[in-house]
Amino acid sequence: MLKDIVLKEISTYLKCQSGDITLDMHLEELGIDSLGAITIMYELEDKLDVEIPNEVFDSLKIVNDIVSQLEQLLENKSP
């Protein structure tokens, strides 16, 4: 489910179909620069009601990095 949310948010940002994006694609390959990654992460932050620390952004290289980081943040948020 989280994967689908991330893929949908990226596809909305890129104005393409989420089926065109796979978890192993590099963000640069998709045309997502650092500002784009920040924009996507802030949208996900709002949708998932989680706070994303700024240092996370440096570790985002592929789509699955976004999913993994969000999974960790959501796990840590749960009581």
> For domain 2-77, which CATH number applies: 1.10.1200.10, 3.30.70.270, 3.30.1280.10, 3.90.1150.10?
1.10.1200.10
User: pLDDT class for 78, splitting at 50, 70, 90?
Assistant: low
pLDDT of residue 44: 96
Per-domain boundaries in the chain:
2-77
pLDDT of residue 76: 87
Any residues with CB less than 8 A from the CB of 2 and at least 6 apart, and which?
Answer: 48, 67, 70, 71, 74
3-state class (DSSP) for residue 47: helix
- Residues 15-49: tens digit of each pLDDT: 999 889 999 999 999 999 989 999 999 999 999 99
pLDDT of residue 18: 85
pLDDT above 90 (res 61) = yes
pTM above 0.75, yes or no: yes
